[in-house]
């Protein structure tokens, strides 16, 4: 098994690493993750990486939302429903589909 370290692989691993640090009951935005991973304008890449996570991943992907405090997945989709349920389980309160970043935003 040869180990190939492309730039894309490194970026992906940095993103995984940051996401794994978000504590329960807190949320972080795509842009915030990107910045912490050393990719200041890579918000979109974070979304792409989340989208490609294996179904059985143990990463707390549900704690990643957009800068408006909303879930970016399509409303009504199974994924959106699961994400919302997981967040509510952790004690997060939604107000009109929005999460208060002031109260629940992760401060590393």
Site residues (vs DNA, CB under 7 A): 7-8, 11-12, 29-32, 39, 41-48, 50-53, 61-62, 64, 66-68, 72-73, 79, 83
**Least gap, CB of 3 to DNA (angstroms):** 16
Between 2 and 7, whose beta carbon lies closer to DNA?
Answer: 7
b/e map of 75-95 (b: 16 or more CB within 10 Å)? eeeeeeeebbeebeebebeee
Between 1 and 52, whose beta carbon lies closer to DNA?
Answer: 52
**Least gap, CB of 92 to DNA (angstroms):** 14
3-class SS at 25?
Answer: coil
**Least gap, CB of 83 to DNA (angstroms):** 6
């Amino acid at each position: 098994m040869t180990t190939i370290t492309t730039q894309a692989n490194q970026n992906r691993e940095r993103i995984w690493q940051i996401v794994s640090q978000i504590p329960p009951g807190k949320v972080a935005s795509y842009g915030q993750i990107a910045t912490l991973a050393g990719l200041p304008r890579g918000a979109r890449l974070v979304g792409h990486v989340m989208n490609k996570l294996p179904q059985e991943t143990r990463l707390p992907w549900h704690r990643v939302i957009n800068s408006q405090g909303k879930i970016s997945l399509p409303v009504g989709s199974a994924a959106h429903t699961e994400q919302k349920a997981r967040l509510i389980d952790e004690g997060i309160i939604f107000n009109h589909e929005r999460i208060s970043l002031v109260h629940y935003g992760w401060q590393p």
